[in-house]
Amino acid sequence: MAQADTQREPPFRGRATIRDIADLAGVSIATVSRVLNDRPDVAPETRENVLQVVREQGFSTNRGARGLSSGRTGMIGLTLPLVADAYFGPMLSGASEALYERDMRIVLAPTFHDHDREMSLLDRLMRGTTDGAILMLPEESADELRMLQRQGFPFVVVDPREAPPEGIACVAAMHASGAKQATEHLLELGHRRIGAIAGAQGWYATEERLLGFRAALAGAGILLDPELIVYSDWRIPQGTQAAEQLLSLPDPPTAIFGFNDNVAIGALHAAHARGLSVPDDLSVVGFDDTEPAKIVTPQLTSVRQPLAEMGRMGVSLLVRLIEGQRVDALRVELATKLVVRDSTAPPRA
């Protein structure tokens, strides 16, 4: 009697993909990737099961061969203003790890906040060298993003500069909620005159954080004094200048909310230059909870953005777009959380 055929039948036509191997082996795509890259962090029985499926399906472990078989390059473009940066670094790390788990690679394209440079880099990425792109804090306008979408190139915006257009995949943080948490924290401590060092006017993050700031004040029955809002360019020197302007008012604030950690650190510098003690004489709150917030003195109370998770979520959305899967939520907002440290305290009596 003939032996029964024990080979697993493929639930697909043509060559197997890494997702097919994962489905047949009953493991995640990340596990398959670790096995194919000979990573040690896989249980022996799991490794053998995956390799058995690979052998049965004739799956090529050569990345180039797999790319040719699927018509894709396995490369993802990623534009971002700066690479070695406390803010963009975690987002880049999250995106690169998520792509590694899918056996995909990044083509990095730093833009240095230059619109023309970014447009040129995107043009190159679209010429068949990548399967799609993640655009971190893109310089393009809403109209330019729509034009890019009409060309059929898959992309996801992570941390939009302008309000994200309808129909374009986007990952952002819940800016308004985070700003409301920060302001309510200062109000609960007893502060009633709170200054705000906002970001650049017109930016999505700036406007959303202003909404949260105003909502918290309104909830406490406090009328906003326009003199207490000063705009900045998100950098430490202008944060220092903005704090100097606020502290020079006839009735200066007892607390300052910086719309990112840089300008909040600038406020710490301004307070120190005036001989003020933080938090005894002035409370300071930042936003983003980047690494510098933990190494300044005093350590900065800050609103944590899930930066690495934003990068990972951007990859997840992009891969689904590339594979033609249905994406129910094109706009994803991730929760923020206030982290209380040493830079905030009740105001002096």
Task: Mark 64-85 as b/e (b = at least 16 C-beta within 10 Å).
Answer: eebbeeeebbbbbbbbbbbeee
pLDDT of residue 260: 98
Percent of the chain with pLDDT over 70: 91
Please compute the mean of the pLDDT values over residues 100-114 and round it to a whole number.
92
Q: What is the pLDDT of residues 280-323, one digit of tens each?
A: 999 999 999 999 999 999 999 999 999 999 999 999 999 999 98
Q: How far, in Å, CA of 80 to CA of 90, rounded? A: 12
pTM for the structure as a whole: 0.80
| Structural domains present in the chain | 18-68 (1.10.260.40), 72-173+307-335 (3.40.50.2300), 175-305 (3.40.50.2300)
pLDDT of residue 290: 97
Sequence-separated (6 or more) residues with CB below 8 Å from residue 163: 142, 204, 207
The two three-digit tokens of residue 235, written as one number: 């950098």
Whole-number mean pLDDT of the chain?
Answer: 89
Residue 327 has pLDDT above 70, yes or no: yes
Residue 16 has pLDDT above 90, yes or no: no
Pick left, alpha or beta for residue 145 (phi over 0 → left; psi -120 to 50 → alpha; otherwise beta). Answer: alpha
pLDDT of residue 1: 39
Q: How far, in Å, CA of 290 to CA of 220, rounded? A: 29
Q: How far is CA 240 from the centre of its chain?
A: 26
Q: What is the pLDDT of residues 124-147, one digit of tens each?
A: 898 878 999 999 999 999 999 999
Residue 2 has pLDDT above 50, yes or no: no
